[in-house]
Amino acid sequence: MFDLVIDNVRICSCEQDLSCRPETAIGVEAGRITALDPPPEAPRRRHLDGGGRLVLPGFVDCHTHAVYAGDRLDEYLARLSGQSYEAQIKAGGGIFHTVQATRRATLTELIDLGVQHAVPLIAEGVTTLEVKSGYGLERETEMRLLQAAQALGPILKSRIVPTFLGAHVPPPGEDPARYLERVMDDMLPACIETGLTRAVDIYVDAIAFGPEHLDRLFERAKSLSCALHAHTDQRTRLGATIRAADWGAVSCDHLDESGPDDVRALARSGTVAVLLPTAALFLGQTRKPPVDALRKAAVPIAIASDLNPGTAPDPSLLRAAQEAVRHFSLTPTEALLGITKNAARALDPQPDFGTLAVGQSADFNLWDLSRPESLLYAPGGCRPTMSFYRGERR
């Protein structure tokens, strides 16, 4: 017995490209797609006429810092008058500014703020949202951030993937290696033991951690069976992409300064390249990730919003995908697979979300659009007509 059958739809499964499947109906049972074109006589609890609409997988935003307190408007304005992101963090602002505000916020406040920040993403069809910690830089707040992230799942009716980013930046005045010891020996085990995360991230940059810190953290995280992610080559190329790939990282994110050796390492390891055009543009960066080399080496490319108060405060995954096309020269197919199939792979090597096929989670949206490319043409006006997460209307 199907819980739901939707017929009269055009199914863009995002498995290979943007073409529509020959089938025109979806059968859902227990939150999964269990049939395409189920027999018309098959019993069902609910039936919906899709009205000829387009169905796409629910979007996957695979890199966000959506739970934080405060904003960084003053710093943005100061940057417009010439101050640099680096100078701000060196003066104790930047990420530290958000850390101060976040440490003061209660769990309830962080949940409310996370909802506020993420609602626009959900409204444009995101059904899976990765959320990093990293604005606590001490155990209690890091754990509170992950707890708040997890709490968003039932509220937003979405899949939340919480990632531990205790190694965001070393706290001011602290020796990076000493702080990293605390991250590895205290914060990370506490977050794993309490079921708050199964994934680890680190920011490697001149203003953050070095590649030697990545090695130490990844060795420990791997022994704890964590999925590995790294912010690499965003502002400075320190060789961290190669190291992360060699550790078997699921994703390397940013890559604005990456070169041919980095691309080769990603290709060897099957690591997903996560591009974050919103942050690159917001910081006024002129260098662009090596998209053509990534494409030629068949590295899977994902796009994410990077939603955060410092470098990407604008909550739109569709606009990020549009920017990837306009500024990073992705094709429309690459951009849309980058927020579906490949974004799912940036979170899980064998995801049961991000594409539409039998056996996949029933996360999908119905769109009143003639073609999927319309999502990149005018993203600001695009809202799904109906949205389903695990087979439930939301």
Distance CA 253, CA 241 (A): 9
The first and second tokens of residue 186, run together, are 């205290």
Least distance to Fe ion, CB of residue 228, Å: 15
Choose from ligand NIG, Fe ion, none: what does 130 bind? Cβ within 5-8 Å by kind: none
Q: Which alpha helices (H) appear in 167-224, and where do they start and end?
A: 176-182, 188-193, 211-223
Q: Determine if 367 is a binding residue for ligand NIG (CB under 6 A).
A: no
- The site string for ligand NIG over 199-218 (x = CB under 6 A, - otherwise) reads ----x---------------
SS3 (DSSP) at 139: helix
What residue 311 binds from ligand NIG, Fe ion, none (CB within 5 to 8 A, per partner kind)? ligand NIG
Nearer to ligand NIG, 124 or 306 (CB): 306
Spatial contact of 366 and 53, defined as CB atoms under 8 Å apart: yes
Residue 94 contact partner, candidates ligand NIG, Fe ion, none, CB within 5 to 8 A by sort of partner: ligand NIG
Residues 280-339 that bind ligand NIG (CB under 6 A): 306, 308-311
Is the sign of the CA dihedral 93, 95, 100, 105 positive or negative?
A: positive
> For residue 184, how far is the Cα from the chain centroid?
23
Select the residue interacting with ligand NIG from 141, 232, 234, 361 (CB under 6 A): 234
Contact partner at residue 243 from ligand NIG, Fe ion, none, CB < 5 to 8 Å by partner kind? none
Supply the minimum distance, in Å, between the C-beta of residue 1 and Fe ion. 44
Does position 105 interact with ligand NIG (CB under 6 A)? The reply is no
Residue nearest to Fe ion (CB): 306
Identity of the residue, 177 or 206, whose beta carbon is nearer to ligand NIG in the bound complex: 206
Which residue type, as a one-letter code, is found at position 273? Answer: A
Q: How many residues bind Fe ion (CB under 5 A)?
A: 1
Nearer to Fe ion, 146 or 375 (CB): 146
- DSSP-derived pairing of the beta strands 251-254 and 227-232: parallel
* Cα–Cα distance measured from residue 356 to residue 19, given in angstroms and rounded to the nearest whole number: 12
CB 256 within 8 A of CB 234: yes
Q: Which position among 200, 202, 279, 280 is part of the footprint of ligand NIG (CB under 6 A)?
A: 279
375/306 Cα distance (integer angstroms): 19
Site residues for ligand NIG, window 77-96 (CB under 6 A)?
94-95
How far apart CA 160 and CA 353 sit, in angstroms, is: 12
Whole-angstrom distance, CA of residue 135 vs CA of residue 60: 23
SS3 265: helix
Between the two ends of the chain, the Cα-to-Cα distance in Å is: 22
At its nearest, how many Å lie between ligand NIG and the CB of residue 95? 5
Residue from 34, 64, 98, 360 binding ligand NIG (CB under 6 A): 98
| Residue facing ligand NIG at closest CB distance | 310
Residues 281-340 that bind Fe ion (CB under 5 A): 306
340 counts as binding ligand NIG under rule CB under 6 A: no
Restricting to residues 239-258, name those near ligand NIG by CB under 6 A.
none
Q: How far is the CB of 328 from ligand NIG (least distance, A)?
A: 16
Round to whole Å and give the CA distance between 254 and 9.
36
Residues 170, 312, 258, 99, Cα dihedral to 10°? 0
Q: Are 266 and 229 in contact (CB under 8 A)?
A: no
Shortest distance in whole angstroms from residue 130 CB to Fe ion: 10
Which residues lie near ligand NIG (CB under 6 A)? 65, 94-95, 98, 203, 231, 234, 279, 306, 308-311
Binding site for Fe ion (CB under 5 A): 306
